[in-house]
Structure 1
């Protein structure tokens, strides 16, 4: 059953807000150099300055994802960023549940918000709407 446009819009923006809150909290932790962030830098073997830069990249990507005109480039940046987070967690024997769940949430949100994306993915290139 297809969602009507109003419901799809509400769900898409609600999920976008959740994504933004999660990623902003994560980025703020990295940028501020909190004790948790410093512990993560030590566990990953990353310098605090590099971790702070990752937080800035994360925040910029999340903001780009929120803006309708830059949402698709933001999606690609977030996918790359979260893929790197998953790889880093795997390399250091840590759980990938959190970054993988965020990645899934980002893609679910993108498919709802960007109809052209869902047309390409779900219909394998056939441009008829879902």
Structure 2
């Protein structure tokens, strides 16, 4: 299926997609940046989640999140970025399941973010609409 087979979207839908994507990008930038310096709150939270209280592990997770976010934000690599961020969210979801955190507020937060992430990409990228045709 070619990209031209994707249904065009209105300007309103395109801007909605951009706003949804911007929400994800801004959240992930915040999430990644706070993991770079050795902040006590980050290492304490990681310990509560069952991760070692190691600033280097937090930094590595922050870098992975920031690189994936940058790939998502760039139009040419947005689909790759979306896949990497989906995997990142999967890790977060499994961490919350493993320690028994509340379902709707903690465990499913990664699912909510993933829906916003892919919804925004679907509305702003004809390639994704061509791959996932909800209507004919």
TM-score range, shorter chain: 0.7 to 0.9
User: Which of 13, 31, 37 matches 2:36?
Assistant: 31
Give the Cα separation in 2 of the matches to 1:72 and 1:101. Answer: 18
Q: Look up the match of 1:120.
A: 131
- What is the TM-score when the length of structure 2 is the normalising length? 0.80
Q: Which has the higher contact order (CA 8 A, sep 6+)?
A: 2
Structure 2 residue runs without a partner (length 5+): 1-6
Structure 1 residue runs without a partner (length 5+): 124-128
Q: RMSD across aligned C-alpha pairs, in angstroms? A: 2.1
- Relative distance call for 1:3 and 1:119 in structure 2 (3 A) is closer
> Are 1:45 and 2:42 matched, yes or no?
no
Give the Cα separation in 1 of the matches to 2:35 and 2:97. Answer: 19
- What is the TM-score when the length of structure 1 is the normalising length? 0.83
Q: Look up the match of 2:115.
A: 104
Q: How does 1:36-75 map to 2 (within 5 A)?
A: 36-43=41-48, 44-46=50-52, 47-75=54-82
Aligned length: 124
C-alpha displacement at 1:3, in angstroms? 7.8
